[in-house]
Each structure stands twice: as structure tokens, then as C-alpha cells.
Amino acid sequence: MRARATASASASDKNGPCQAIVSGIGRFQLARPFSVAYSASKTNHITLPASTNYPPRFETYPGRCRRDSFPDAALVVRAAAIASAVHGGEPPGNLLDEKPDRTHLDRVFLASNSPYASLPTEVLVQGEDVYDFIVTGAGSAGCAVAGRLSEDGRFRVLLLEAGPRDSYPWIHIPLGYHKTFNNPRVNWMFDSEPEPELNGRVMYQPRGKVLGGTSSINGMVYMRGNAADYDEWRQRGCEGWDYDSVLPYFKRAEDQQRGADDYHGVGGPLKVSDHRWQPSLARAMHDAAVEAGIPVNPDFNGATQEGVGYYQTTINKARRWSSARAYLGDAKGRRNLTIATGAHATRLLIEQGRAAGVEYRTPAGLSQARARREVIVSGGVYGSPQLLMLSGLGPATHLQTFGIPVLRDMPGVGSHLHDHFNTYVAYRCAKPVTMNDLALSLPRRLVAGAQYALARTGPLASMGLYVGALIRSDKRLERPDLQINMFAWAIKERNRLGVTPQPFSAFGLSPVHLRPDGRGTVRLKSPDPQAAPEIRFNFLRSSYDFQALIEGMRVCRRIAAQPALRPFVVEEILPGPHVTAEDDLKADIRARGVSNLHPVGTCRMGREVDAVVDPQLRVYGVQGLRVADASVMPSIIAGNTNAPSIMIGEKCADMVRAAA
């Protein structure tokens, strides 16, 4: 989380102390010459002796201070920065982004020797913070927007993220996503309301609460979807979003390990790679699918999507390559980009029909930042509609229930929620080659740890999902509506408490319905911005939803019965070989099926009367306000949603710059 400090200065301060009220501790840099100052009480007030002898430039160096050197957690600030603001001198280094005669500070650096040591490097300073652009949410799209808008130095950009830095070690180890799945340190850990067609079960919704958003905790599959998905967007009135129009943004974002061609780019910020390591089971799964009659597809993101093949990933040299790593890694030193973690956007400041800024909360309390040009909301499919509704943009009757003044009645905000839905067929494995074997054996875990530490290979270098297939549940369909994920592990249960693996060697084949009929909503549960939203999916609302999944389960069984997998299969354990009748399969889907964690559509783009944003991603009826994330998708794409979300961020940044 990002702390916030207050500093003030005036002409009368030049011969007296300058105070900073500090609420948290992060890393720090000492400036020379400097005056040591420390907290004299638990209120964390810091008094800095004034000096008139600071030179115009200050050499800085990173450092730490010993806990026993200073009482009360030793809050050390960069005194030279304070002096520069007080005395109107030249700002040292990259501390101050505006003119040196400003009367408040931009950043204060604090010591990292306290319980708050996990806080980020920079600490925002209260005052009349004014930026050209403010981006709320450092997720898949938000990082792309902020990174691109700040890259040429013309614009001053503030990126607000409610979560912390991506310093949790398991984020960066590919198989470590099982460790972030239910970790409140980096995960919002939302739950849906009970689902009527799922026997009243609640669908757990892990969402990234960290730099990189869900791209920092997801399964790292790089999948764009079907070209026809985007052409359908265009047919629905989203000009400029057909496949030919979005392909350049996919290519620009990409640094493709296989090289550049008509569909792929190199030199972009997002590393896309093949698996560095895979078990023998993965090859057997692939070959079994071919034996079952599914054609080979060497590139799901190429000329065609249908077929079986190996997934590409957002992994680089055996480390997760999130949107934060891609777009903020080289941007953190930019003077015109401020990245504020621990800063939860609570309300948009809308004045006379224009987005004028953002109110946000840090551990120090509420603060505001102003936007000269635009605010871009990138809070994700749950966070973006929640922020709009808290700001008075949403269904009027719903907002009035919570006493929120209605600025614009927008019934589409929070509506049209939909997601892929999956179930799975699980098999006991005859060979100890699954991730379950790894989880159940300490010696295997030690070997895997050594493989990863010494050579960046082995099970930890992957996410346990190597092979997939895109197929049609009905040959009369024009494009695939099923994705078969072939996992080198099988679970017993998945919920907010975590993922419980089967207590023996096992693997699973999972059919995913890519074109669900059900539509749900995101609504407020409370006017408190920190309260979780109310999420209702309305899964399995049509016979087609069931029929597609039933066909998917049958395909999984055909794959498992092929010669290539025969040496690995002992028996089907879920749902069990006796579950074959259609009614029994429906009952099993209701009992075990789950969200595939690809929600979209809650601020959908389009020309419909209840569309929230236009094809330029501008919120209807409010100037200077856009939404850029998966919530704007008018319909879900056939595949994983991280890559399309990044594409949306890339395209949004271009549209914003063109309008500036």
C-alpha cells in the first residue's frame, strides 16, 4: 500500500522548520547534505530544520537506517526535497515534476525499517496534485494506458492502485499462482451471490489487488480470441474494433518468442513465449486429442483458432510477465509518471458534466487529485462499474437506495455481466507425473525447487496447463464455442479457502463454454467504496449453456480413451463412468461447474441505449472520462481475457493521445 504525507511551505517558512505528516513507511533515499529528522511521537510528525545553504543539485543514494538509531520507527525523509520546495530552489534529480516554486511536494521517501516495510518506494504528498491524466487501477489495461501515455514525456500521469507493489515472491514464479489464488495481500477475493442454477452455490472470484491487477495472479495463458469475435463487435456498432483494426495493437504489445509474422510482433513490452518445461503427460494429451479427431493448430493466435495445440504464455525466462512488468518496468523512473499504490479510488470528481479528478483513500485518509485532460477508469469488470456508481453514474433507483446523488441515470452500468463457465472430468493417473504428485511429496518439491533455482526449469517454471483445444459443440456453428483445457493436475475443491488437490496422482480435462447465454449484474452492497460489490452471474440460464458443456464432457472422455493417454489413465474419478445420461450430466454440471474467471461486459461499449461507453471508450454524457478494461467488451471473446484487456489499454492510449 502507498502512504501519503503532507508538506507545506510559505515565505515565512524560510527561516523556520517545515513539517511533514507521515502515515507510513516505504524505502527511502538520503540526500546530501541533509538533516536527520525522526518521529517524535506516534502521530508521526516530522520536523526538518531549515537551511539556506543547499546547492542547486543534490547527490542522492539509496540506504537504510538502523531501527535502534532513531526512536519511533525512524521516519526519515528526503530533506533536500523539502528544502527545495521551501526555498524555491532547483528540484533535485527527479523528485519534483512541476516548477520549483510550487508550495507543496510531489514525493517523500521514507525508511524501510518498520512493520510498513512492504510499502512502495514513493510516498505521495498531499496538496493540489494536478495531472494531465489519471488512471484508476493498475491492472492489465490500466498499466498499458499509463505506460503508453507517459512514454514520450509530454503528459503528467498519475496511476492509482488500491493494492501493493508486486513484491510478493510467489507472484513471479509461474506455478505460484496457486499461492495468490486466495491471498488477501494481493487478491480482492470476491464472492458472487448464490447462483440459482448451481444449487445455490457461491462462485469465488479472485481478482488482482496489486500492481498488474489480475495479470499478476492469473494463469498466464496468452489467448486473443477468435477474429470473428471482434468482427462481431464492429457489427454491433463498435467502429474500429473489428479484427483488422485491433490486430495492430496486439502486435505492438507483443514481444513474440517465435518471431514476427502477419499475426505477431516483436519488440513490444509484453513477453509471449512457449513453455520452457512440460511433462510427458502434456505430449500424451496433445496426441490423444489428435487421435480423437481434433486437427493440430500450431498457433491459436494465428490464421485460425480451431484445433488442438500448446498454449503460449506471458512468461519470460521462467518468470511471470504481468502487465506491470511489461509497461511499468521501464517507466518507474519517468519524471512524468507517478505510480501510487495503496491508493483506493473512492469517487470520481465530476463538475459541470466533466471528470475533473479522483478522490482516493490511503492509510492517511481521503485525498484528491485533479485531471487537466481526462480520467481513465481501469478498475476491472467489478471495480469500474462500482466506481462509476459510487460517483453517481448508474441505475438511478439503485443509487438512490444508498443515498448517492444521481448525476446521470445509466442502467447499463454494472449490467450485462457474463463469463465463461467450465466443469471438468478427472482421472486417476498411473504415473507420478502430475502436479498432484508434486504437492503430495516433499522430496519432489525439493527437487522442483532446486530445478527452478538453479536452471529456471521444472514444474515451478510452468503453470500446469500446457495443452488446449478449441472446438465446436455443434458442427453447424461457424466458430468454436468450447475450449478444452488439459491440466496436469486435478482438484478436489476450489473456493476462497484455496484449491484442494486430489490426494493422489491425477489430471483433469476441462470443457469451457465460451459463448454463454446468461447475463448478470454488478451492484453496490453499500455506499462504502471498500465494501465488496454484489455479483450475480445467472449462469446456465439456457438449454444451450447445458448442451455445450455436455458435449464438452463427452469430448473429454473421447480424448482420455485414446491410445496416447491409455498408459496414464487408471480410472475416471469425476464425475465417474456411471454418469452418462443427459439429466445426470446436467445435475453434475450444476453440482461441480464453476466460473472460468473471465468476467466481462459491465461497462459495455456500443451504440445500444444502455451502452456505457462509445467506441472511443468515452463514457456517455460525461466529458473527459473513459473506461478501459474487460468491462467494456460488448461480448466475451473465445479465449482467455488478459491479452484482449491489454489490447484495449493499448488502443485506449492511442485514442487518448489523439484527442489531447
Is the pLDDT reported for residue 124 higher than 80? no
* Whole-number pLDDT of residue 494: 79
* Whole-number pLDDT of residue 12: 31
By annotation, the residues acting in catalysis are 598
Is the pLDDT reported for residue 94 higher than 90? no
Q: Region 565-571: what's the mean pLDDT?
A: 98
Confidence band of 496 (pLDDT split at 50, 70, 90): confident
C-alpha cell at 431: 504415473
The percentage of the chain sitting over the pLDDT mark of 90, rounded to a whole number, equals 77
* Whole-number pLDDT of residue 71: 30
Confidence band of 500 (pLDDT split at 50, 70, 90): confident
Confidence band of 499 (pLDDT split at 50, 70, 90): confident
Residue 404 inside a domain? The answer is no
Is the pLDDT reported for residue 527 higher than 70? yes
Is the pLDDT reported for residue 566 higher than 90? yes
**Cα dist from 428 to 283, 455, 572, whole Å:** 17, 30, 6
* Whole-number pLDDT of residue 72: 29
Residue 471 backbone zone (phi > 0: left; psi -120 to 50: alpha; other: beta): beta
* Whole-number pLDDT of residue 447: 96
Which residues fall within 8 angstroms of residue 576, CB to CB, at 6 or more apart?
none
Is the pLDDT reported for residue 56 higher than 60? no
**Cα dist from 474 to 424, 539, 557, whole Å:** 19, 20, 17
The tally of CA atoms less than 13 A away on the side-chain side of residue 272 is 30
Q: Region 307-319: what's the mean pLDDT?
A: 98
Confidence band of 495 (pLDDT split at 50, 70, 90): confident
DSSP-assigned letters across all residues of 426-451:
EEEESSS-SHHHHHH-HHHHHHHHHH
* Whole-number pLDDT of residue 497: 79
Residue 114 inside a domain? The answer is yes
Q: Give me the phi and psi of 535, to 5 degrees please.
A: -120, 125
* Whole-number pLDDT of residue 296: 99
Cβ–Cβ under 8 Å, residues 585 and 575: yes
* pTM score of the predicted model: 0.83
Over residues 425-480, the pLDDT tens digits come to 999 999 999 999 999 999 999 999 999 999 999 999 999 999 999 999 999 999 99
Residue 112 inside a domain? The answer is yes
Q: What is the mean pLDDT of the chain?
A: 84
Over residues 178-204, the pLDDT tens digits come to 899 999 999 999 999 999 999 999 999
* Whole-number pLDDT of residue 562: 99
Of 281 and 95, more confident: 281
Residue 110 inside a domain? The answer is yes
Q: Region 252-279: what's the mean pLDDT?
A: 97
* Whole-number pLDDT of residue 250: 99
Q: Region 621-632: what's the mean pLDDT?
A: 99
Over residues 350-402, the pLDDT tens digits come to 999 999 999 999 999 999 999 999 999 999 999 999 999 999 999 999 999 99
Q: How many helices (H) and strands (E) does the chain have?
A: 15, 36
**Range with lowest mean pLDDT among 98-107, 261-270, 562-571:** 98-107
* Whole-number pLDDT of residue 493: 82
**Range with lowest mean pLDDT among 110-119, 209-218, 554-563:** 110-119
Which residues fall within 8 angstroms of residue 434, CB to CB, at 6 or more apart?
279, 281, 488, 489, 490, 505, 506, 507
Confidence band of 238 (pLDDT split at 50, 70, 90): very high
Residue 92 inside a domain? The answer is yes
Residue 382 inside a domain? The answer is no
Q: Round to whole Å and give the CA distance between 230 and 6.
A: 47
Residue 54 inside a domain? The answer is yes
**Cα dist from 291 to 251, 305, 564, 641, whole Å:** 33, 19, 8, 29
Domain count, the chain: 1
* Whole-number pLDDT of residue 489: 95
Over residues 63-83, the pLDDT tens digits come to 333 323 323 222 333 333 333
Is the pLDDT reported for residue 52 higher than 80? no
Is the pLDDT reported for residue 44 higher than 80? no
Place of cell 538509531: 69
Q: Round to whole Å and give the CA distance between 308 and 290.
A: 7
Beta bridge partners of 427: 507, 572
* Whole-number pLDDT of residue 472: 98
Residue 502 inside a domain? The answer is no
Is the pLDDT reported for residue 301 higher than 90? yes
Q: Region 536-554: what's the mean pLDDT?
A: 98
Is the pLDDT reported for residue 113 higher than 70? no
Q: Domain containing 111: what range?
A: 4-125
